Structure 1
């Protein structure tokens, strides 16, 4: 057995310790290293660890980096399957290997430590020709004592990194496989303090705190702002402290001193406890408005620079996200320092996942294999010891999707003994035998409600069932993002508010993992020629890879609002949904708009409301009028914060004060149909084909007319399902032929003031059809269509939409509309949209999902105007419709694999939908809620063109 196949944790590594800021001398070894790549171990460079080895012909590579991002090997994306034969602890001979060399000058010799913060997946390390050891555990730090080897002046560091190792079997996370030295490398002088463990508790009943710092005996602890001077190991009681929370992240600067070293700390006083089945921090129930966060950079791969770490957290805070699960490994430790500073509840997760064994019914799972016992426990120890001093970390997680087994039990037992101040989490064992929190992935709304009532399906063991039923409940993953969706977020939030036991969860997931290619396009699974991959499943985030928010992130911000605003007759009711914070940092602003045009605005006095409380304020009186009037009230930051400027919106509500005006489509018909020159039919500004009844001309524009649409370009959610026994919507729609409808004209008649077109719409191989009757009228300037659709035969699939499409000249460039905006809105994903008047270009209406799919619909459109070199066209609905406008057909959108596949044609395609199917989240097993499940049904709708 090779050293990289040994199932143990490695050798030569120092005991793990906390990541701290110390004044001991240090040298960063980041930078340009010499690099040799081989497709297998046999091709690695013999003797490269020798000091006199000639590496002058080698290439250079930056450290930290992931070598596939620099053209060596290739990225591989899998979710569940291992991209190597499952034969633990062995790996194939084809094991990509990178040899690294660095010549550096050390300004000292003597007691020193060499630290690697992350190497994927196994490394063997030499300094000055002397082997230091072997490390596994890719996203965990490793330190080596180099005191006897380091020289003042010239030194040669050699590192051999293997992509595959026994550790790979413990690292089957849903992400790109990207080997290399991807985190910092540092040389540090070694001084007296080997570790520091801070215990800073808060008593919410008295407002006092206690502080205990475990470290070298005789060290002195100082907290100047609290007048604390104490010896290490001494428990200090402090009569009054300000507690730390994700909402008010109060930190105290402290130092721990010995004669030869000073460690700087940022201490947060807080106490985590489970009381009567509820998870509390500082005596208050907390509600996780969280996300799962992978570490990813579209250019650098696994390397995430500090400025991007901060930017990620700022975008989260600005969208009301208050919690992070570090899926599925410890993050760069600088992220946790930022979470302490900016304020996040953190579930810190071990670098541990064996998901590929699920496909083998968990046969041979390392989580229950005694050969992997030491490595399993080692990973948990390195997580806890590194991150134990961060107040933001309020929960330890054993890992993810690793089944159940004795090694997980041992990890839990050690963690609970080492740090009883934090609960232990793990979702994979539903008995919850080793954990403190009941956790599920992707439970449906109905299941969450049952759990909230503590009425979930019982376990076979009554003792374990009673224990689990008494636990708080967290959704460690829910509402799987990915492309256009998910829907149903407000309904989950309502359950979290209703049931005390349900304490929120962590959306899957924060960021799309697209990899930026030199041509400016983004790659996903399969784009690098992988023999095994999971395609677009890696595109499952709330933000694009460059941190641009996707439309769903606005839905998240709305669902996660920390204050709830409700307009009642004459008053605004305000509910404070913060965990601990009052509303003194907020102000209220209001605006009146008539048919989308602002007519008045002002501010309201924000009462100071304690967390969990309610209050009302009087609204300004406004005169009645006959235009459609909307009142919008916004809660905004009153002053600048560390994460947003004054005026940043935290919450909003919108209420209609006067009803919609009578739509223009009610105008009486003023002209009758004509048959000019025996060709077709003319009605006002429109001409129709006498044979098919389709609109062929409107004003001076030629028109392509699709009289009924039932299909959409499938979203990523349409194309996936959690249940292997159930077909996804994309497949069901394809089997039913919704994408290949055929139209049979039943009749085209001029009846009085109307052109009446009856069309039977069906598809090959089935008798499921739709009888469509369209009655066209005109006032001389505009055309009005009254449409009736009626299903015929036996339909076995839902419809994607009920609408009609017009192909217009490409000269239309701009769109102004009165309806929901400014972004897209779908039936179960529209909470963030507000009624107003908006203007956009056709191009900007599109959402650039990395895998093209249905997108860009504007909902509840009362009217819209298209303009450009082609002229001007007004559309209106009765009372309103959904509208998409794009430069390619639905079929072209559906067949495109990447954005660059979409090429504008000579038409602008406008689809007006009366009904739409919801987005849902079937990717993660949550069935679409009934109101948004568009089952075949008779329906009438009306629209006007002119």
Structure 2
């Protein structure tokens, strides 16, 4: 290709002057030139003038000056539209606007954000960006603090998207690409005591953009910290902390490499070593469960650097990924850096909040998708305890759309840029004990550039295994990684019986590697389903060492309607010509970091303690089996409590004595004796909870880690009430039956005890979830598409007979979609007992139904004044057949409006499973009670399913006068087909004959 550089960038070393504008990349394009040199932002080089990468540390005794604050800013539509006069110290920027740094200009009224998943939002013409290339010029004036002094100093950029060119006091320092990576420039010789003028030109698009196609908002700007660091003579140029642990002897070995040399002290261990010298002593190891850090100090002639040292060893041996000699099970999430107001600019409070939420929901691992995070996040992972897969700032997914033609990772001309990214990640993050795997990048196909990166990483840091998912041969990796493999495939891989590779040597090598799901359980909208089944596979097959749910947070950007209502925007809401809709909203927490039902479910599935009932002779439980699923910790840090309930009312509670079981151990612990007189009063349930016994760094004492429920004796089964009233004709065209008034022509219930309502009548439609809609690239049918094709969203009801009998009113109907012979013949059998109505439904399908139903139940509308719900069943949150793990049986109550789950794109939500009875009441306690046989699920909302289906944002849903009540005999599962596998067979709602009943009564 023409117009490309063949030269690797020259990187200065510390102590050498950086290249400047006079000897670097000035390469003007001369019209008519047959071989124009590329402009710096479109050549393949990683940049010029920057210092070599080094280890990050949060603080030292050398002075630092933050340059955060209000900068002057100008946005141009093209990269070549303005000259460089703005970099002069005397340039007049009075007419420029202001912009907060760190930040991103697209979220501050300059241009707009754009979202794509895989497609590049510009023509694919590597390495060139388009001429329409928004370019932001930044200026900032700063003074040095008193006592700063003369001598070396570096200007530090933590992250800039996507290419930056830098001047200080009119002198060009260089340029760089690699948006989520640090870059530093030597500036000591340019600094003045006052009025230093920093000028930075940032291009939204560059050659580097082809390496950063990472399924997120494209948000240009200086989004991470900018600072000046004093580097006194003899200060630390770089250092590498080696702290291994021998699990056999219980001893750790410490060695710290440093340039220049110095000394390392660790008072708690009595160590005082020269750098380069090693010492082996008895230590407490670091793990994600017990993240013990030793405070130390590195001292050179010019600087004192605090160290936080974690002793641990990571190895792949015996076909397993082991830390400190033990197999680990990753209960992980993928995490993009995101804030609904500030985009990729995430402050320390938000980072800590993320990690506290993760720890409190039993998550023990993070994959830093798909770039290194802010280094302060890794400091917190060290402190709080988290296994980290640190991923390089690299993804070229858009080239898949052209069969990986021109893919940069298989083009030697891009190799310097790829190696630069690998170096900047490894050198910055090498001293974090939480980082247990390096990842080459994400969804880049395969190529020689990845091999070069892997070779360099192994040579530089042999202490950590390598990860990469995109090469099924695993030629450059130490673990076998996959995305969205279904449960059956995971089982085969766990048995080391996966489909063989063509190369027998590569096949044998891969078959001996541990297996990770670097992405699974796509958490988009309502879901994900199938989590429990995955977790059982991880626990059954040692090779399957867990994985990372996609992903942590919905990337919805906070917006307001003209009348002030808040919603979260997604792809297409900013006029993008190319976008991927709400696929950017696929997290376990909502944009405001409120946990979704998916996170609550995930917490339950991955509990590190399992609590199960031991069956007694009467079908209940008189003991529980408690199993420790931690990898390292015993149960000494937990306390156990029991609670005994009858019909959801607490009748007793107390503490349980549980031994401090070691990992993988279990014990049977007796429950107290239940009061005999209460056993016949109703359904009785034991609940056993494991809580923190003392405050932890991530949660207070009493925080619930795990729970289990077991029945106390057989569940009482109520006999159907005998009919005590017979249907009779009333005035007008009505039939009276007990407290009910029915339309004599249609058989529809119109009044219950004088209160008007509509329904109930058979309903099979639900507003499709993101997983129902499914990804277009998924194999097999897309459920929502098939449901619409069959017309399940527009079912028609025909009454065939209304038959008053001596003890019941029988209504026979045929429910069917237009244009189809398929139908559901439904018989409503109404009977009365005292002040209640009993409805028994039988449903028999006609025809050969090719797809499962969305739901099977009845829908009715009642007065909107019934605004409070109380029920006995699963709660407090929503649950569906394959997402109900966290639904605890009990008595729950909340306003109807609180039943709704505010998914960024509205969809089916809010169903409470396993319900025995539900009450909807007014403020005075009057209302409606419904009891089901068998258990049912209910949802209640102030808009119709048609309105819910049509809504794009939460603000599209306007409460109506009525309340729409779903009483479901069954629902189709949720699955993960928005990107992963669909609903497992056991959770599919296949069309089959069904029979179920409800009892309706009014509350006065």
Task: Give 2:642's match in structure 1, choosing from 563, 566, 590.
Answer: 590
What residue number does 2:299 align with? Answer: 257
**Distance in 1 of aligned mates of 2:131 and 2:748:** 65
Query: How much does 1:706 deviate?
Result: 5.1
Offset from partner CA, 1:102-129 (integer Å, 9 cap, x none): 1111243331100000000000000011
Extract unaligned runs of 5+ from structure 1.
Answer: none
What residue number does 1:340 align with? Answer: 382
2:814 and 2:824 in contact (8 A); partners too: yes
The 5 Å alignment of 1:725-764 reads 725-764=779-818
> SS of the counterpart of 1:688?
strand
What residue number does 1:117 align with? Answer: 158
> SS of the counterpart of 2:731?
helix
The 5 Å alignment of 1:726-805 reads 726-805=780-859
| 1:718 aligns to 2:772 (yes or no) | yes
The 5 Å alignment of 1:207-226 reads 207-226=250-269
| 1:47 aligns to 2:85 (yes or no) | yes
Offset from partner CA, 1:282-308 (integer Å, 9 cap, x none): 001100000000000001111001011
Query: How much does 1:869 deviate?
Result: 5.7
**Distance in 1 of aligned mates of 2:768 and 2:316:** 44
What residue number does 1:881 align with? Answer: 936
| 1:129 aligns to 2:170 (yes or no) | yes
Task: Give 1:397's match in structure 2, choosing from 419, 439, 457.
Answer: 439
Query: How much does 1:574 deviate?
Result: 1.4
What residue number does 1:602 align with? Answer: 654
Which range moved further: 209-218 or 823-832? Answer: 209-218
| 1:699 aligns to 2:774 (yes or no) | no
Offset from partner CA, 1:812-860 (integer Å, 9 cap, x none): 1111111111111111111111111111111011111111110010111
The 5 Å alignment of 1:315-714 reads 315-518=357-560, 519=564, 520-568=566-614, 569=616, 570-624=622-676, 625-626=679-680, 627-663=682-718, 666-705=720-759, 707-714=761-768
The 5 Å alignment of 1:290-305 reads 290-305=332-347
Query: How much does 1:237 deviate?
Result: 1.6
**Distance in 1 of aligned mates of 2:50 and 2:296:** 29
| 1:75 aligns to 2:113 (yes or no) | yes
**Distance in 2 of aligned mates of 1:110 and 1:654:** 67
Task: Give 1:4's match in structure 2, choosing from 17, 41, 57.
Answer: 41
**Distance in 1 of aligned mates of 2:109 and 2:700:** 41
1:458 and 1:465 in contact (8 A); partners too: yes
What residue number does 1:195 align with? Answer: 238
Change (3 A) 1:63 1:317: same
**Distance in 2 of aligned mates of 1:453 and 1:662:** 44
Task: Give 2:202's match in structure 1, choosing from 151, 161, 164.
Answer: 161
Query: How much does 1:477 deviate?
Result: 0.4
1:39 and 1:73 in contact (8 A); partners too: no
Offset from partner CA, 1:29-75 (integer Å, 9 cap, x none): 11110000112224446411111110011111111001111011111
**Distance in 2 of aligned mates of 1:607 and 1:462:** 49
What residue number does 1:248 align with? Answer: 290
What residue number does 2:872 align with? Answer: 818
1:767 and 1:794 in contact (8 A); partners too: no
Offset from partner CA, 1:71-102 (integer Å, 9 cap, x none): 11111011111100111001111101100001
Task: Give 2:968's match in structure 1, choosing from 913, 924, 942.
Answer: 913
2:237 and 2:260 in contact (8 A); partners too: no
What residue number does 2:22 align with? Answer: none
| 1:24 aligns to 2:58 (yes or no) | no
1:78 and 1:534 in contact (8 A); partners too: yes
Query: How much does 1:727 deviate?
Result: 3.6
> SS of the counterpart of 2:133?
coil
1:814 and 1:866 in contact (8 A); partners too: yes
TM-score (norm 1): 0.99
**Distance in 2 of aligned mates of 1:780 and 1:209:** 77
Query: How much does 1:660 deviate?
Result: 3.1
Which range moved further: 876-885 or 588-597? Answer: 876-885
Query: How much does 1:681 deviate?
Result: 1.3
Query: How much does 1:566 deviate?
Result: 1.5
What residue number does 1:228 align with? Answer: 271
What residue number does 1:893 align with? Answer: 948
**Distance in 2 of aligned mates of 1:869 and 1:788:** 35
Query: How much does 1:371 deviate?
Result: 1.8
**Distance in 2 of aligned mates of 1:827 and 1:341:** 38
Which range moved further: 100-109 or 7-16? Answer: 100-109
* Count of residue pairs the alignment pairs up: 944
The 5 Å alignment of 1:808-847 reads 808-847=862-901
**Distance in 2 of aligned mates of 1:416 and 1:259:** 31
2:492 and 2:498 in contact (8 A); partners too: yes
Query: How much does 1:573 deviate?
Result: 1.5
1:722 and 1:925 in contact (8 A); partners too: no
Task: Give 2:248's match in structure 1, choosing from 194, 197, 205.
Answer: 205
2:334 and 2:366 in contact (8 A); partners too: yes
Offset from partner CA, 1:362-401 (integer Å, 9 cap, x none): 1111111122110011001000000000000000000000
Extract unaligned runs of 5+ from structure 2.
Answer: 1-37, 617-621
Which range moved further: 101-110 or 293-302? Answer: 101-110
What residue number does 1:105 align with? Answer: 143
What residue number does 2:23 align with? Answer: none
Offset from partner CA, 1:122-153 (integer Å, 9 cap, x none): 00000011110011000000000113222222
Which range moved further: 364-373 or 280-289? Answer: 364-373
**Distance in 2 of aligned mates of 1:654 and 1:912:** 25
2:778 and 2:977 in contact (8 A); partners too: no
TM-score (norm 2): 0.93
Change (3 A) 1:386 1:218: closer
Change (3 A) 1:69 1:217: closer
Task: Give 1:59's match in structure 2, choosing from 81, 91, 97.
Answer: 97
**Distance in 1 of aligned mates of 2:759 and 2:822:** 22
Query: How much does 1:677 deviate?
Result: 2.3
Structural RMSD (CA):
1.2
Query: How much does 1:722 deviate?
Result: 6.0
2:480 and 2:514 in contact (8 A); partners too: yes
> SS of the counterpart of 1:301?
coil
2:520 and 2:980 in contact (8 A); partners too: no
> SS of the counterpart of 1:196?
strand
Query: How much does 1:610 deviate?
Result: 1.0
What residue number does 2:14 align with? Answer: none
**Distance in 2 of aligned mates of 1:449 and 1:8:** 44
Query: How much does 1:697 deviate?
Result: 1.7
